[in-house]
Amino acid sequence: MKGVEGAVMDSPIRWAGSKRALLPRLRAAMPTDYSRYIEPFAGSACLFFEASPRSAILGDFNGELIRAFQHLQIDVEAVIREIRRWDEDGGDYYDVRALQPNIGSSAEAARFLYLNRFGFNGVYRTNRLGHYNVPRGARTGKLPSGDDWRRVSRGLSTAKLRHQDFKRTIALSRAGDFLYVDPPYVTTARSTYGEYGYGSFESSKMQQLRASLQRADSRGVKIMLSFGSIEGFEDLLEAWTVVEIETTRKIAAKLESRSRVGTEILAVNYSARSLI
């Protein structure tokens, strides 16, 4: 299924590890025809918003993220009313961070979106009690306008939103669907310290992900995988097309570490228009 022409929009979410800078390459590598767009690690969902598919499933382990998307989808005006209570330049960041709104409320969605906009580099990090503890960032820009939020709401209207483990989302895929998989890059040598929320994705889950993708591959699902390296996926990707791409990561707070040029892999199990 091709994307809806003229409906391309930017994701409102800033997310650590987002592939926003790689969107032209990802878009060109997508299959020209597919039934449903499925993303088990939604994050910013920037490729979903770029492709604007007519039918999609967006899943993520982060409940606050998915609930924010759900409120934007079904009651965007309530979210707009809540978020307009706070300074549009981020001046209320720490006051908003200290709030504990009811789970599932429009206030919770607005708080998440506000903190996401003005937090450091789009990082979502919690302590072991589940409390968001990211400091305020710089050069984040203003909040999206009311019309921007409404465009996002219309974009999300084609998606089923699922707060669930990646295995359950991948299991929903059928022959002819397009599955975009962009898991957090974690290894046994790298601790996430609550990045993406405690328990969201750990190195021990890599084997589960590989098995889920093998089953989807055998069902005839069209899969695109982006990841930090081929490590852990060697057997799965043996018959796939794999290219190495250059990326720039911006996470660390120390000045000398804020921008790091590295490489990632992009792999597909179908004949892509372009992977160059």
Binding residues for S-adenosyl-L-methionine: 15, 19, 60, 182
Q: What is the DSSP string of 108-138?
A: HHHHHHHHHHHBGGG--BB-TT--B-PPB-S
Token digits for 67? 């609930």
Rounded to whole angstroms, how far apart are CA atoms 100 and 119?
Answer: 17
Binding region: 15, 19, 60, 182
Rounded to whole angstroms, how far apart are CA atoms 272 and 15?
Answer: 27
Rounded to whole angstroms, how far apart are CA atoms 35 and 53?
Answer: 9
Rounded to whole angstroms, how far apart are CA atoms 127 and 92?
Answer: 21
How many Cα neighbours within 13 Å face the side chain of 72?
32
With b for 16 or more beta-carbon neighbours within 10 A and e for fewer, the 129-149 pattern comes to eeebebeebeebeebbeeeeb
Rounded to whole angstroms, how far apart are CA atoms 83 and 136?
Answer: 17
Distant-in-sequence contacts of 90-94, Cβ < 8 A, 24+ apart: 90/114, 90/117, 90/118, 90/136, 90/140, 93/118, 93/119, 93/136, 94/136
The CA-to-CA distance between both ends of the chain, in Å, stands at: 23
Residue 163 pairs in a beta bridge with: 60
Burial class (CB in 10 A: 0-12, 13-18, 19+), 157: exposed
